[in-house]
Amino acid sequence: MMFLLDAKKLTKGIDRLRQFLILAMRVLAVAALIFAASRPLAGGFMAGAGGKADTILILLDRSASMEEQNLETGESKRSSALAKISELLRKTSSRSEVILIDSATLEPTKVTDLDALESLPQAAPTATAANIPALLQAGVDYLATNTSGRTDIWVASDLQSEDWRVDSGNWQSIRADLSGNELVRLFLLTYEQASPNNLAISISNVNRRRSPSGYELVMDLAIKRTAPSEESGEALNLPVEFTINGTRTVETLTIAGDEFVRLGYAIKLGAGDERGWGRIDLPADNNPSDNQAYFVYDEPPVRKTVIVSDDQTTATTLATAASTAVDPSVSYDAAILSPGDSAQIPWDETALLIWQSPIPAQDSAEAALLRQHLEKGRTLILLPPPATGETGDDALFGNRWGAWADRANSPASAAWWRTESGLLENTRNGSPLSVDQLRFFKTRAFSGELQPLLKLEDETAVIAKALTETEGSLYFWGTLPRTDHSTLATEGVTFFIMTHRSLAEGANSVSKARMLETGIDTPLAEMQEIENSAPESNLIATGLVPGAFQSNDDSSDQSLVALNRPVTEDSSDALKTDALESLLEGVEYRRISDEVGSGSSLAAEIWRAFLVAMALALLVEAILCLPPRPETEKAKPI
């Protein structure tokens, strides 16, 4: 009886377990059916989702580097990002308010039809550079001025390091605004992979000069091979097309290595080509936006410098350097004025203004004239005013003078200077300037949003460029070309080169033929288009695509403008992960790395998997419901 009772209890336990399993399979089948009917999604976005957003902000990088394509599909990084974000929003946020802010205009655009997102003019390709901190700040400002509720911010970018501007002063406020807002989620859709062997062309220093055989154009020509493959060391014969006033010729250039540079490249001009426009084209490759470069040319203007100073020694030294001819085909002129005589400055003719006087008050007429000078593309150098002990309460674009430092007992030397760009960059043959030979006896500090160009051993910046949004360049020189302040004048090569590089920057703006970078603020008012690189440019805001333009008048004073993408867009350097984490420190974000033509989706429907799970649950439930097999009786022996 004891064994029979134990067997009976065991049978009841197994039956009870089977009933529980049957119930579990039935519940699982119903749950799987419900999930399948709701069409759930999975992917990088859903991994961090916590409810639908009321507002979706799409911050789109429209820079030239985003036009890199997959040659098989013709899809670019920009179009791929738009397609995947619009697909995601159609599946997950069809009722959310969608706002697009692009890097070229920084203006918010309400998207009413997600299917038409890619065809919006505000999402079209451009040849501009992107300012990602300004783009993020535009998104933050939109949230601050609009009732947005729960918001998802999608940043679509290729992480081009120049566009992310790690030195920008906006990052601190961006981090503070995003980290303190619990209603905002940040997603980064990145396309950092660069195509191998993409070619990009750029030109600079275009000048028309007279030769014994007639006029000719002289320019600096560079063809860069970005993200080179292992075979990039092999010589490449490249057919390059030159177009001048509509006449086309082809020349084969040989590229060996990562870059082809030809300084002083000369092109003969025809009898009727004393002035005009031109274009240089490379064969088609992965990125069509960097295969063209436009230029215009005319009679070179007088390179005029104005020095405002009461210091006769300094002013004379500067005037001598600025008026010394570098190019025999160009005229140079320098004038000296006293402080307070700004009304006598020929502003329309002045390419370089050197100001050795206290910074005028922000609301003064002089400050307005200085800002206008920079906004027109001219160059301004601020030299330290006399050592009167004041620290300088007034500022220009937020930059001001500090205190003087006397280093006569221990003269300072340059410990670092920027060699890749700016006033102190290496010479054309790659040799550095003799900056290390300079000595500094008196220096004056300056502060603001500045890019140092020369630093001393104690990290004091002596020469810097102000980071303004103007077309022109603003420089601070924290010393003077006097023997009691520095050896700039006695070690004259560096001083002479800095002066003439500053003059050359401003000379472009006073010329009747100007070469400018693309941008929404490019001054093209009352100008007509000669030619551009985009057939659909009438749908794109003026100034965002390369081209050649001329003023509407037909007089001899007719001005010409050539627009090209910024040369920084030719870089293939992507922002490193640790640098990105540093820029967004304290901000919760999700990064989704993608590739053009990958075929992946930000959120894939997985309802079929739930239907399979339901079928398996019902199959297991049916097996458990089968009655036990009857025992067969054993045959009795006869």
Residue ranges of domains in the chain? 2-38+607-625, 42-194+578-605, 198-299+512-570, 303-510
Band (240; pLDDT cuts 50, 70, 90) = very high
The predicted pLDDT at position 485 comes to: 93
- Helical H runs in 38-76? none
Contact partners, residue 267, CB within 8 Å, separation at least 6: 216, 217, 218, 219, 242, 244
Q: What are phi and psi of 8, to 5 degrees?
A: -65, -40
* CA angle, 346 then 296 then 534, to 5°: 125
Same fold, 42-194+578-605 and 303-510: yes
Taking alpha carbons only, the member of 610, 508, 542 closest to residue 295 is 508
Q: Region 616-634: what's the mean pLDDT?
A: 74
Q: Region 180-186: what's the mean pLDDT?
A: 88
Yes or no: say if 448 and 354 are a contact pair by the CB < 8 Å rule: no
The predicted pLDDT at position 271 comes to: 78
From CA 120, how far away is CA 79, in angstroms rounded?
11
Least confident of 99-103, 280-284, 360-364, 371-375: 360-364
Residue 227 has pLDDT above 70, yes or no: no
pLDDT above 90 covers a percentage of the chain that reads 42
From CA 340, how far away is CA 188, in angstroms rounded?
52
From CA 634, how far away is CA 344, in angstroms rounded?
126
Q: Are strands 450-456 and 97-102 parallel, antiparallel or unpaired?
A: unpaired
Instruction: Note the pLDDT tens digit of each residue in 208-222.
Output: 888 777 888 989 899
User: Angle of helix 607-625 relative to helix 2-37, nearest 10 degrees?
Assistant: 160
Strands of 273-339 (E only): list them: 276-281, 292-297, 303-308, 332-337
Residue 343 has pLDDT above 80, yes or no: yes
From CA 516, how far away is CA 472, in angstroms rounded?
11
The predicted pLDDT at position 533 comes to: 65
Instruction: Note the pLDDT tens digit of each residue in 530-586.
Output: 877 665 555 577 889 999 998 877 666 788 999 999 999 998 889 999 999 999 999
Residue 523 has pLDDT above 50, yes or no: yes
SS3 399: strand
- Find the distance separating the first CA and the last CA of the chain, reported in whole Å: 32
Q: Region 480-507: what's the mean pLDDT?
A: 91
Integer-rounded Cα radius of gyration of the chain: 33
Does the domain at residues 303-510 carry the CATH identifier 3.40.50.880?
yes
The predicted pLDDT at position 129 comes to: 94
Which stretch, 45-54, 414-423, 478-487, has highest mean pLDDT?
478-487
From CA 558, how far away is CA 550, in angstroms rounded?
7
The predicted pLDDT at position 355 comes to: 94
The predicted pLDDT at position 223 comes to: 92
The two three-digit tokens of residue 233, written as one number? 């060391």
pLDDT above 70 covers a percentage of the chain that reads 88
| HSE, side-chain direction, 13 A CA sphere, residue 627 | 3
Instruction: Starting at the earlier edge strand, list the strands of the sheet with 560-564.
Output: 513-517, 560-564, 547-551, 527-532
Band (1; pLDDT cuts 50, 70, 90) = confident
The predicted pLDDT at position 50 comes to: 47
From CA 155, how far away is CA 170, in angstroms rounded?
16
The predicted pLDDT at position 182 comes to: 87
Q: Region 143-166: what's the mean pLDDT?
A: 91
| HSE, side-chain direction, 13 A CA sphere, residue 629 | 4
The two three-digit tokens of residue 510, written as one number? 């006073």
Least confident of 119-123, 270-274, 392-396: 392-396
Q: Name residue 510's amino acid.
A: V
From CA 451, how far away is CA 466, in angstroms rounded?
6
The two three-digit tokens of residue 631, written as one number? 């025992």
From CA 611, how far away is CA 133, in angstroms rounded?
46
CATH number of 42-194+578-605: 3.40.50.410
| HSE, side-chain direction, 13 A CA sphere, residue 117 | 26
Yes or no: say if 153 and 57 are a contact pair by the CB < 8 Å rule: yes
CATH topology classification for 198-299+512-570: Immunoglobulin-like (2.60.40)
The predicted pLDDT at position 47 comes to: 39
- What's the whole-number average pLDDT of the chain? 85
The two three-digit tokens of residue 517, written as one number? 């970078």
The predicted pLDDT at position 438 comes to: 92
Contact partners, residue 156, CB within 8 Å, separation at least 6: 58, 59, 60, 61, 78, 81, 82, 85, 189, 191
Contact partners, residue 194, CB within 8 Å, separation at least 6: 68, 226, 227, 572, 574
Band (49; pLDDT cuts 50, 70, 90) = very low
Instruction: Note the pLDDT tens digit of each residue in 60-94.
Output: 999 999 999 988 888 999 999 999 999 888 877 67
From CA 431, how far away is CA 425, in angstroms rounded?
9
Q: Which helix (H) or strand (E) holds 180?
A: none
Burial group, residue 484, by CB count within 10 angstroms (0-12, 13-18, 19+)? exposed
Q: Region 367-386: what's the mean pLDDT?
A: 91
Q: Name residue 473's amino acid.
A: S
The predicted pLDDT at position 46 comes to: 44
Instruction: Note the pLDDT tens digit of each residue in 440-466.
Output: 999 999 998 889 999 999 899 999 999
The two three-digit tokens of residue 353, written as one number? 């203004």
Yes or no: say if 435 and 494 are a contact pair by the CB < 8 Å rule: yes
The predicted pLDDT at position 243 comes to: 93
Contact partners, residue 178, CB within 8 Å, separation at least 6: 136, 140, 184, 186, 584, 587
The predicted pLDDT at position 354 comes to: 95
